[in-house]
Structure 1
Amino acid sequence: MFFDLGGGEIMGLAVLALILLGPERLPKFASDAATLVRKIQKMSHIATQELRENLGPGFEDLQPSDLNPKAFIKKHINATLDEVDAQERPTPKMDPDLL
């Protein structure tokens, strides 16, 4: 599902939370956790928007994964290889007498 946790593991964590927090505090804890997740998502979205605005034109379609150095290098290498493939290569000329 998420964070490489399966359904059984999530169910086990839910039972553990029920035991540790008790049935009276569990709904409040779940509500607070959901609020925290929403705040983190909002902050992430705002940070991404500010990054796009500060980089200027040409970066409107920027994704946070594009800033990963491995992805950046791979993207540039592939673009260079595409340019090399697109260049016209001269056709070799052979002397028919050599065949």
Structure 2
Amino acid sequence: MFNLGAGEVIGLFIIGIVLVGPDRLPNIAADAARFLVKAKKMAQNATNELKDNLGPGYEDLQVKDLNPKTFIKKHIGDVIDKNDFDTKPKPKIDPDLL
């Protein structure tokens, strides 16, 4: 989820001990863990509420489908010619001048 390696975790632990102190670090770590669990539950509840409010036909809706680029590719991607997206941008400076 956070892509942290062992060295990074140890570094964060040492910084935590220095900043907070070894006596308060377990309480702060437990509070942070509770906050992360609560935030994850809130996100899941928001997703479920969105699915419920959209009504029938949207049960299989994924949050990543709400991305506009994904939505366009999924719904009208077959209509648009793929060559329209493969155009190269025009250079801002004439290459012959370089």
TM surpasses 0.5: yes
Q: Which residue of 2 aligns with 1:59?
A: 58
Q: Give the superposed CA RMSD.
A: 1.7
Larger Rg: 1
The 2-side partners of 1:70 and 1:19 are apart by 45
- Aligned pairs (5 A) from 1:1-99: 2=2, 4-78=3-77, 80=78
Q: Which residue of 2 aligns with 1:97?
A: none
The structural deviation recorded for 1:14 is 1.5
The 2-side partners of 1:11 and 1:74 are apart by 43
The structure with more helix, counted as a fraction of residues = 1
What stretches of structure 2 of length at least 5 have no aligned partner? 80-98
Listed one character per residue, the Cα deviations across residues 71-92 of structure 1 (whole Å, up to 9, x for unaligned) are 11111244x36xxxxxxxxxxx
Amino acid at match of 1:47: A
The structural deviation recorded for 1:6 is 3.3
Listed one character per residue, the Cα deviations across residues 36-91 of structure 1 (whole Å, up to 9, x for unaligned) are 0011011111100110011011111111111111111111244x36xxxxxxxxxx
The 2-side partners of 1:67 and 1:19 are apart by 43
What stretches of structure 1 of length at least 5 have no aligned partner? 82-99
Among all aligned residue pairs of Structure 1 and Structure 2, give the percentage whose two residues are the same amino acid: 57
How many residues get paired? Answer: 79
TM-score, reference length from structure 2: 0.71
TM-score, reference length from structure 1: 0.71
